[in-house]
Amino acid sequence: MAVDAGPAPAPALVRAVRGYLDHLSVERGLSANTLASYRRDLERYLATLAGAGVTDLAAVGPGQVERHLARLRAGDDAHPPLAASSTARAASAVRGLHRFALREGLTGGDPSRDVRPPTPPRRLPRALPVDDVVRLLETAGATTTTGEGAPLALRDRALLEFLYGTGARISEAVGAAVDDLAVEEGTVLLRGKGGRTRLVPVGGYAVQALRAWLVRGRPALLAAGRGTPAVFVNARGGPLTRQGAWTILRRAAQRARLPVDGPQAVSPHTLRHSYATHLLDGGADVRVVQELLGHASVTTTQVYTLVTVDRLREVYATAHPRAR
């Protein structure tokens, strides 16, 4: 396990962290991305403990946990200050490690129990207006509809229609296999975080775009590769990557004259946010949207209700004669 420059962490600390990460992977089923983030957070924690001369988790006190989190927020010569959201994630990793050590009998107490991580600011997800989404989808793949570029054009349109038509995460879209699709029934099986799966309806526009891609586009690109079950493939016939999908969206956003840089930039997650917000604006129940998005808790989904309340206020302010 790589750590920051400085004293090497004691073997007992390294074993405890490895055991905890194995537990998260095998028993909790955390995604590879989440595990990688936790691993980085705990490597920094081990570096802090090693620098303080701590060789065993049983010797850690609440003050050391608090000082570590404060150091993350303040930054140092080797690291910039972490945002509140990143510090909260690091605190979750540290607290989880100490709870795991207590359950496994490695320690007699949990020094992190009363340490409260900073509360990250609540950021409302950015959703595009419906007209902007339509313009984005119509420009995807619109530049080349014949010749050698036609298969890529069909793929680009199908991908963006799929993202907005299902609310899929970008990792779920590029990870979807042809066998997960039931085009005639208008459904797709999405494989989400923690190994959870969900069956999601696919809208008519997305079905039409997928059918064109699967029949007229995908076979032409597959001929250049070794064969893959992935729905979306690249120009070499291999599975499309997350970075490749982001590039497709960026090109479409540029053609649609939507922002591609800065805080308002359109990203693959923007389509997921738009999907949820437009469903709620249309009267969908928040519990239904929770299932469609694959959220483990309805609390995560409820952030979208704040967006729709803002929309209601806007409509009220412009429509009611005595709103001002």
Write phi, then psi, for 320 (nearest 5 degrees): -85, 130
Q: For position 153, what pLDDT does the model report?
A: 93
3-state secondary structure 163-211: HHHHCCCHHHHHCCEHHHEECCCCEEEEECHHHCEEEEECCHHHHHHHH
Spot the catalytic one: 38, 164, 275, 304.
Answer: 304
Q: Active-site residue 38, yes or no?
A: no
From 68, 89, 155, 169, active-site residue: 169
Domain 130-264 fold? hpI Integrase; Chain A (1.10.443)
Q: Which pLDDT belongs to residue 306?
A: 65
Does the pTM exceed 0.75? Answer: no
Residue 255 annotated among the catalytic residues of the structure: no
Is 304 in the active site? yes
From 272, 273, 275, 278, active-site residue: 272
Q: Which of 269, 287, 313, 316 is catalytic?
A: 269
DSSP track, 27-90 = TS---HHHHHHHHHHHHHHHHHHHHTT--SGGG--HHHHHHHHHHHHH--SSSPPPPHHHHHHH
Q: At what angle do helices 286-293 and 268-281 cross, to 10 degrees?
A: 160
CA angle centred on 248, ends 245 and 254, rounded to 5°:
140
Q: Is residue 295 annotated as part of the catalytic site, yes or no? A: yes
The single residue of 193, 211, 251, 311 carrying the catalytic annotation is 193
324 residues of the chain, pLDDT tens digit each: 554 557 888 999 999 999 999 998 888 877 888 889 999 999 999 999 998 899 999 999 998 998 898 888 888 777 888 887 788 888 899 999 999 999 999 999 999 988 876 665 566 667 899 999 999 999 887 655 555 578 999 999 999 999 999 999 999 999 999 999 998 899 999 988 777 888 999 989 999 999 999 999 999 999 887 889 999 999 999 999 999 999 999 999 999 999 888 778 888 888 988 998 888 888 888 888 888 888 877 777 777 776 666 666 766 677 767 666
Identify which of 281, 247, 240 has the alpha carbon closest to the alpha carbon of residue 267: 247
* CA distances from residue 308 to 266, 273, 283, 286, 302 in whole angstroms, order as listed: 19, 12, 10, 11, 10
Active-site pick, 68, 135, 278, 295: 295
CATH 1.10.10, applies to 11-103: no
Please confirm, yes or no, whether 193 is among the known catalytic residues. yes
278 carries an active-site annotation: no
Output DSSP code: residue 239: B
CA angle 102, 105, 109 (to 5 degrees): 40
Q: Tens digit of pLDDT for each residue in 73-106?
A: 888 777 888 887 788 888 899 999 999 999 999 9
pLDDT of residue 15: 94
Domain boundaries in the chain?
11-103, 130-264
Gap between the terminal Cα atoms of the chain: 60
Q: Cα separation of 34 and 199, whole Å?
A: 23
pLDDT (0 to 100) of residue 119: 63
